[in-house]
Every structure is written in structure tokens, then in C-alpha cells.
A and B are shown apart, each in its own frame.
Chain A
Amino acid sequence: MTLSELTQTTGEWLRGEGPLNDVVVSSRIRLARNLAGFPFLSTAVESNRREIHRAVVEQVTASTLGKDELLIDLDEVGEVNQHLLVERHLISRQHAAGEGSRGVTVSPNETRAIMVNEEDHLRIQGLRCGMQLETIWNDVNEVDNVLSQNLPFAFDQQLGYLTACPTNVGTGIRVSVMLHLPGLRFTKEIEKVARAARDLRLAVRGLHGEGTEAVGDLYQVSNQTTLGKTETSIIETFSQTIIPRIVDYERAARDTLAKQHATRLDDKIWRAYGVLCGARRISTNETQTMLSPIRMGIHMGRFNKFDLKTLNELFLFTQPAHLQRVTGKALDENTRAAARADYLRSRLN
């Protein structure tokens, strides 16, 4: 598989399928691991980074995982491709913006990505559309076991897996679920839900993680405690308690909207469609803001001009790096707004 083949589909996280997919867009698990005998990256020199990078890539290719794995050296692929990987949720923004020897290995169906030399030496990530934490955990756990046969991970009997930041120590696990909550935003109950989640020591963030806004009504809920609990109990709290509850609240809010504010709801959906069909210049943020009520409208059976697959393509292919790939042109911020609007009109009219 090559990097350019990636842009032929929307990838895994926007596939639009999976359990609870009317509210849960995607679910993700990552494990932080470091190689024993090497410094963490804040004190590592370039030769350390290169050695770590090489050791991980060697193990991935030598193991059962690596047959069709896409191995990407971030130092070599250029800025647009780095952003492309961020937009596909395969690497973090920090990883794209980092310096020195670093990379990512991606499985052919994009359900797995191992970031090398991000904040920790390895970040083993599993990603799937809808609510599929158990399947992801099986994948990620297996990858971790396979790699740990030949890569000695830094581990302490008391503190578990040792990580560059002590907030990740122990299991090194971060479970994260991406939710689409336009109903709760509309009924202004979203803050209440976010507060309740924070009381359970969960982080609630926007689309791109830490410090980002919830553009397009997309919220990420993730655990903060990584020590003193087993991986499965952390995952179970999400899949059995937290997420089903939020999904119920969101569905109830959508029901209320349909029953009590049907005209306002339809107005919001169809106006958004109007903007996307008619705009001559449009930003990524505005595009995602407009796509949000339409996504809800599709799930509620109130919108039929296009389906979820098309919506997810529009969501991804209008983002800066993908837009440049789709149009085949290098676009700066100014020309992008017009090119995005052109692309949307060509798809919708």
C-alpha cells in the first residue's frame, strides 16, 4: 500500500458504520510504550531517535503484523502528507509538527497505526468506526504482545509501563470515543453532560483533541486515570456505562427536537444544505458546522439529498490536505476557501 492510495477512501474513522453509529462516530484506544535502555524523547539525541525508530520498524516488518503495513517516515513525506495523516486520525498534530526521526506504521485498512517517537517511543493505536472498543482492544493488545517479545518495554513492578509523562504511567492506555452531539448542543444540555463526564475524571475535548473546540458538534471523551485499574475495567466503564448513557441523552434530545421544534430543526438542516450548495468561499470550520445538522438529519430520516457515505467524504475531502489531494493543486489558505466551495458545489449540484 502507498500513501497516495490512502486518499481513495474516507478511511476507517469516517466509515459511518459500527454499533451506535447515529451518535458514536468512532472509537480509539492507544497504548504508550517506551524501550528500556533508551532515554525518553525529551532528552534523547538524534542518534537515539534513529535507533528507536529503526528498532520499531524492524520489529513491525519482521512480525506477523508487517506484511502489508504502510511504513511512513514523517521526516521525508512533506507537510501536506503529514496533515493528511492528521486529518485521517492516524497521527496527532504534535507528531506532525515534531522534529527529528519519527514515523508511523499504518495497517492497510487503517484500523491500526503505531506512532514512533511522538511523546513516547511507541503509541500503539487502534481505531474503528462506531462503538467497537472490545474489538480494538483485542487488536491493540495483540500488537503489544507481539512487539514486546523482541522489544524490551520499560516496566516497573509498582508503576507499570513507564511513560515520559507520569499522567500516562501504569497501563499507558487512553480510551477515546468520538461523539456527535448536535441534539444536546441544540437543547443546551451539552454542558451538563460534559460536567458529569468531568466529575467521572474523564476529559471532554473537541475534534482534534487537547485544546481544540468542538467544531461540528464532535466531542471526544477519554479517560485520564491510567494507573490502579485494569485495561479491561477502563474499557468496560466506557462501553457499558458512560457511552450508552450519553447516547441515550443525545437520542432523547433529538426526539424532543423532532416533537417540539420540528420546523426549527428542519430549517437548520436544510439551511445548512443551502449554504453548502451555494457558497462561493467556505472555511473548513464552516463546512463542518454545516455538515453537523445534515448528519443528524440523515440519521433522523429528515434529509435525503445524499447519504452518510457522501457526507463523510465531504467531511474529510474538504479538509486542507485532502482538498489539495482531491483537486491536485497546491492551495494556500486564501485560494482554499474558493476551491473548497467549488468542490462542494461540484459534488452537490
Chain B
Amino acid sequence: MNVICQRCNQAKASVHITDTIPEKRERHLCEECAEKEGIIVKQQHHTTNEILQQFLKHKAAAVGPDAMCPKCGRTFREFQSKGLLGCPHDYEAFRKLLVPLIERAHEGASQHIGKFPVTADTAVQRQTGLLRLRRELQEALQAENYERAARVRDEIRVLESQ
């Protein structure tokens, strides 16, 4: 349908309205005039891809491939080509870029629930312990092993009350 806007008589009408009150009538407006009459609110249209691109650009600006670990001097780009990190602090320096890679390599996981060093402070021990127990509770429930689930739930309560 190629209709000219009834308001400005210039642009192509792309908004088509049927009023029923006070009487039935059809109106054809261009986008700009429809916005002026308050019928539509013009939105900025972005594809998902564009949104993603912007997000990644933003992220890369914050921690881009040229980001460098202040402790060992290794850049993220060097890690990408060699596959090895330069020092433990790289995990901090490149965390945002590394976590998605780590998730891909570890079946979507990004949280450690295994053992911790015996010297780790009690807050870390408690936190890791709770995460591990909650996972165990979930597994026990999925396997319909209610006896084990009850035991794990009790352990969680003890740890939470500490």
C-alpha cells in the first residue's frame, strides 16, 4: 500500500490507524507525524547482533586483548597465542575475558566447589563449603536420594549458623 501522509502530505505513510470514537475513520500518517501527534514513540532499532557488538566493544575497551597484567607484563593477546598465562594475577587482570573461556572449557562452570588450601581463611572455607553442599543437595534431590539430601541439608544448616 503506497499512501502519502494525510498530515504533511509529503512522506510515505507507514502508520495506519482506525479510529472508532467518535466515529469510524481511517488515518494514514508518516512516522514523524505520528510521533508528533503522540501516537507512537519512536524507538532506536538495534538488532541483537548490534547490541552484542556494542557490549563487546565496551568490554574490550575495559579489558581488551591488549590489556596487560601489571604484575608479569603478559598481555591477553599473548595468552591467546601461547595458551598459557604469565602469573596467578592474570586471572584477576583478565577475569572478564577469561571467565567465558573457562566456562566453555568446564561444561559451563565458573565456580570452584572442590577443596581449598588448609591455610585458606575460614570465610573462604565456609563459602566454598556451602557452594559444594548446595550442589550436593541438588544432586541428591535429582537422584531422589532423600536420605542423603536430608543429611546434606543438616550440614548446610550447621555451616550457615556459624
Which A residues are within 8 Å of any B CB, using their own CB? Answer: 34, 36, 38-40, 42-43, 119, 141, 144-145, 148-149, 152-162, 164-167, 169-171, 173, 201, 224-231
Docked-complex contact A231 and B111, CB < 8 angstroms: no
**Bound state CA distance, A229 and B119, in angstroms?**
21
Which of B119, B120, B127 neighbours the largest number of chain A CB atoms within 10 Å of its CB?
B119
Size of the B side of the interface (Cβ < 8 Å), in residues, is 38
Residues from chain A with a CB closer than 8 A to the CB of B124 are: 157
Within the complex, which residue of B82, B109, B115 is in contact with A225, where a contact is CB–CB below 8 Å? B109
Shortest Cβ gap from B142 to chain A (Å): 13
Interface-facing stretch out of B18-26, B41-49, B58-66, B86-94: B86-94
Docked-complex contact B113 and A230, CB < 8 angstroms: yes
Docked-complex contact A40 and B88, CB < 8 angstroms: yes
Shortest Cβ gap from B106 to chain A (Å): 4
Known: A148-B119, A170-B112, A229-B113. A43 touches B106 (CB 8 A): no
**Bound state CA distance, A157 and B95, in angstroms?**
13
**Bound state CA distance, A43 and B105, in angstroms?**
23
Docked-complex contact B119 and A228, CB < 8 angstroms: no
B17 at the interface (CB under 8 A from A): no
9 closest Cβ pairs, A-B complex: A228-B109, A160-B112, A154-B88, A171-B114, A227-B106, A43-B86, A39-B87, A42-B84, A148-B117
Docked-complex contact B83 and A162, CB < 8 angstroms: no
Residues from chain B with a CB closer than 8 A to the CB of A229 are: 109, 113-114
Shortest Cβ gap from B136 to chain A (Å): 8
Docked-complex contact A158 and B105, CB < 8 angstroms: no
Residues from chain A with a CB closer than 8 A to the CB of B71 are: 39
B85 at the interface (CB under 8 A from A): yes
**Bound state CA distance, A170 and B110, in angstroms?**
9
**Bound state CA distance, A228 and B135, in angstroms?**
9
B159 at the interface (CB under 8 A from A): no
Shortest Cβ gap from A18 to chain B (Å): 25
